[in-house]
Amino acid sequence: MSEREEHALLKKRVDQVLSGSVTAEAQALADIDANLAPVAEQLHAATGHGKRLRAAFCYWGWRGAGQPDSDALVRAAGAIELVHAAAAVHDDLIDHSRTRHGRPTGHIALREVLTDHARPKAGARALAMLVGDLLMSMAGQLFTDSGLPGAFLSRARPLWAVLARELVAGECLEILRTGAAPDPDASVKVIRYKTAKYTVEHPLQIGGVLAGAPRRLLESYSDFGVPLGEAFQLRDDLLGLFGDPEQTGKDPADDLAGNRPTALMAHTLSSATKAERGELRHLLGQANISEQQVERAREIAHRTGAVARVEGMITARLREAHDVLADADVTADARRALESLATVSATRTH
């Protein structure tokens, strides 16, 4: 079986875990009150898409330490996808994003059920926030009820807390940095904590800790995971502005409208002419940015060399991750799978 086929099979298993978890939660909400159906629908919407990379890294963190395939571990890995779903719902709220995966985000979709509400926009945002909170609670419950031995779960519980803390810290840093002077190093720190660590490093380490991996392997997982996670988010930033919306499901104006402190924009502003900085300052944070304005931002990013620099950052981080993996004491199957996952994470087109 190829690595692609193996990941597709693992993704299917994780999808089944998430579907079962969300269906049970939706029924519990319905048992409370039928009016909660729109909230239950958003649980399904938030978890119905995704590459399941975080679950895959957790799974191979477990297998890399020599443990066999395990349905209980797949359930525990699926819990990290619920963390991601919760983070995405909250992130869309913070960024005022209107689409994700080509569909309306939670706070936009929920307005439809509040047409008679005194403040439909505020009400929909409040409901979406609570959907995100519930998803985070579900993640902890799924992890605890995964079926793994209690001693295994106890070993990983401190890392679960670190994952949540650093994810929140990264989101807070992004908010604090929004609109600040361009600083490429600060932008990388934001993505390291907001996305990189909980996408690769922490899932790998949680899988490893659950498996009883030795300290040296856990250190290798960290040394591999941090640069790869940063490469993942740097690619995401490029796709945010340059990707095909039909594939990414994202509006290419989102990062500009949100004035987000991406490394791409930090490098662009740092190298732009005074006139170009003026053009970009006019766009950043502006609502209803036109396609022509997006294209102009792309032109400036290319002309300043920012796109090439970010591509170089991705290449360097992917190479660093592969070098670490080559020396890591992991099983042969895990090495092959992680090599494939690393390349897909850093070079994907959507």
What are the sequence ranges of the domains in the chain?
A: 3-347
Query: d(Cα 301, Cα 234) in Å, to the nearest integer?
Result: 14
Q: Count other Cβ atoms within 10 Å, centred on residue 144.
A: 14
pLDDT for 287 equals 85
Query: d(Cα 49, Cα 43) in Å, to the nearest integer?
Result: 11
Residue with tokens 């991996």: 213
Report which secondary-structure segment, H or E, holds 103: strand 103-104
Q: Is the pLDDT of residue 1 over 80?
A: no
Do residues 84 and 50 touch, judged by C-beta distance below 8 A? Answer: yes
Q: What is the pTM of this model?
A: 0.95
pLDDT for 10 equals 97
Q: What is the dihedral of CA 32, 38, 43, 48, to 10 degrees?
A: 140
Largest CA distance in the chain: 62
Average pLDDT over residues 248-259: 87
What's the Cα-to-Cα distance from 300 to each of 37, 112, 243, 263, 276, rounded to whole Å? 46, 38, 16, 14, 7
Query: d(Cα 317, Cα 309) in Å, to the nearest integer?
Result: 12
pLDDT for 3 equals 85
Do residues 205 and 184 touch, judged by C-beta distance below 8 A? Answer: no
pLDDT: which is higher, 12 or 248: 12
Query: d(Cα 241, Cα 264) in Å, to the nearest integer?
Result: 9
4 token code pair: 């692609």
Q: Is the pLDDT of residue 183 over 90?
A: yes
* Partners of residue 103 on adjacent β-strands: 100
Class of the CATH-defined domain 3-347: mainly alpha
Query: d(Cα 55, Cα 81) in Å, to the nearest integer?
Result: 6
Rounded (10°) angle between helices 71-95 and 37-47: 110
pLDDT for 310 equals 97
Q: For residue 232, how many C-alpha atoms fall within 13 Å in the half-sphere facing its CB?
A: 25
Average pLDDT over residues 119-147: 97
The values of phi and psi at residue 330, to 5°, are: -115, 165
The pLDDT mean for the chain works out to 95
Q: Is the pLDDT of residue 95 over 90?
A: no
Query: d(Cα 213, Cα 211) in Å, to the nearest integer?
Result: 6
Per-residue model confidence as pLDDT tens digits over 216-232: 999 999 999 999 999 99
β-bridge pairing 103-104 and 99-100: antiparallel
